[in-house]
Amino acid sequence: MIDLHCHLLPGIDDGAPDIDVSLVMARQFVADGVSTVACTPHILPGLYHNTGPDIRQRVAALQNRLEEESIPLRLVCGADAHVCPDFVGGLRSGRILSLADSRYVLVEPPHHVAPQRLEQFFFDIAVAGYVPILTHPERLTWISSHYDKIIRLSAAGTWNQITSGSLTGAFGRNAQYWAERMLDEGQVHILATDAHDPIRRMPDLSRGRDAAARRVGEQEAQHLVLTRPRGVLENELPSNLPAPQGASAHNPASVSSPAAANDDSGFVGRLRRLFN
Ligand SMILES: [Fe+2]
């Protein structure tokens, strides 16, 4: 498996506080069946002033240490980049990192307030040639009142990443409901740990994968943790990767897809056509 979202780098954000914790987490990843991890520290103006060059240096240093410790885990660079002004400028200048320097970039919106002009924000990223990956929409407190927007973004080419712990109940019933619903509706592209520590928010991708497999089948579960993440690392076009299959493909009697996903008019159509 490949994990595209975690806070493994020591002492850079609210993830691993020091190298000892990073090493414990790295061993947990390996034991869990993960071969490659994207180190994605927060980039959040006003709170976490991490920058691309610094993240690259720290990833190289941690990779060296893993090799010294004989921990077979490959690291790639990335960032958990929060919605901020001049996001595209940050990508172009290298201040914000995409995943393994690919066209795919994690984008984290505010947890408690739906940003104004959310769709325009994602449109601007897509126009610049990137595929935005919305991080853990299932955990946003405003998802229930703005789910139509998330569906429109997804229909237009934004990918959705949900957290493995959400599927196992680690983030509460609300997050679990939305994670399962999005999975059932074929709205989820990537499953990732968003691991921060070895105990409370630990590397738990296999448990999430198993929970996903029970809802959408083994093949789609594999796509969530391997096929699409590998495609991201290889900078594949999204159109060359399997589209998410919901529960109806696995179990045709279970659910129906939202009508909005088929809307090809207006804003959504413009954005979708960028990827075709
Ligand atoms: Fe994160």
246 vs 188, residue with greater confidence:
188
Q: How far apart are CA 264 and CA 26, in angstroms?
A: 43
Locus of tokens 């008019």 = 265
CA of 251 to the centre of ligand 1 (A): 32
CA of 98 to the centre of ligand 1 (A): 14
Q: What is the chain's mean pLDDT, rounded? A: 91
Neighbours of 240 (CB within 10 A): 8
Q: Return the CATH superfamily for domain 81-275.
A: Metal-dependent hydrolases (3.20.20.140)
pLDDT band for position 276 (cuts 50, 70, 90) = very low
Give the model confidence (pLDDT) of 145-177 as tens digits.
999 999 999 999 999 999 999 999 999 999 999
pLDDT at 265: 45
Task: Give the DSSP per-residue string, 180-243.
Answer: HHHHHTT---EEE--B-SSSSS---HHHHHHHHHHHH-HHHHHIIIIIHHHHHHTT--GGGSPP
Give the model confidence (pLDDT) of 237-252 as tens digits.
999 999 999 988 777 6
CA of 194 to the centre of ligand 1 (A): 5
269 vs 17, residue with greater confidence:
17
CA of 192 to the centre of ligand 1 (A): 9
Q: How far apart are CA 22 and CA 8, in angstroms?
A: 6
Locus of tokens 């994605």 = 40
Q: Where are the alpha helices (DSSP H) in the chain?
A: 19-32, 52-68, 87-93, 118-127, 143-155, 164-167, 172-184, 205-216, 218-222, 228-233, 247-250, 266-274
CA of 174 to the centre of ligand 1 (A): 18
What are the residue ranges spanned by the domains of the chain?
Answer: 81-275
CA of 151 to the centre of ligand 1 (A): 21
Give the model confidence (pLDDT) of 211-237 as tens digits.
999 999 999 999 999 999 999 999 999
pLDDT at 255: 47
Give the model confidence (pLDDT) of 94-106 as tens digits.
999 999 999 999 9
- The least confident of 67-71, 118-122, 272-276 is 272-276
Mean pLDDT over 109-134 rounds to 92
**Would you say 221 and 227 are in contact if contact means Cβ atoms under 8 Å apart?**
no
* pTM of the shown model: 0.90
pLDDT at 115: 80
CA of 6 to the centre of ligand 1 (A): 6
CA of 137 to the centre of ligand 1 (A): 12
CA of 45 to the centre of ligand 1 (A): 15
CA of 4 to the centre of ligand 1 (A): 10
